[in-house]
Each structure stands twice: as C-alpha cells, then as structure tokens.
Amino acid sequence: MAKKVIFERISIDPKICHGQACIKGTRIPVHQILHMLANGDTIEELLEEYPSVTREDILACIEYAAELAEEEVIPDKVIA
C-alpha cells in the first residue's frame, strides 16, 4: 500500500523541475522537503511554510526516500 501512496502523491515529469521528483500538483521537489526535515524543521513548520502541502504529502516524501534507500547497491570493490 505504501507504494501506491507514493505514486499518488509524488510525480516525476520532465517538464516540471527538470524531472525531479515533486509533490504532485506542485513544483516542490521531494529533496527540498527532505533537506528541510534533515535540518531540523518539523512537519508542522513545513505545513505552515507550504499551505498547499498536506501531512500525507510530507510522509510520502519520506517514504519515497526510504524506497530509494532500499535499492540494492553492489560496490565495485570491497573496502576492508
């Protein structure tokens, strides 16, 4: 079900923000929301800053990043 929410709330369109993942219906990139959260902003502060964004949109941004982080990466060299 989480993947459905991501794609209902996150869009990737080459004509919008150079194809960066954005909150659907906005020009707010997912990475902007994530950077703000990482820098200490709260969800409540983001909701005040971006009135068109919902709590579910912000949670979808986090879930989108989590999905990307689950990608299997095989390093070229094993560093010991």
Handedness of CA 1, 66, 13, 17 (dihedral sign): positive
Sign of the Cα torsion 55, 2, 64, 27 reads: negative
Q: What is the CATH number of the domain that holds 15?
A: 1.10.10.10
CA 26/CA 29 separation, integer angstroms: 8
Q: How many domains does the chain have?
A: 1
User: Distance of CA 8 to CAs 17, 37, 50, 72, Å?
Assistant: 18, 21, 19, 24
76 belongs to a structural domain? no
Cα(8)–Cα(14) distance, rounded to whole angstroms?
Answer: 17
pLDDT per residue of the chain (80 residues) written in tens, 0 to 9:
445 556 789 999 999 999 999 999 999 999 999 999 999 999 999 999 999 999 999 999 999 999 888 877 777 776 65
Residue 47 counted as domain residue: yes
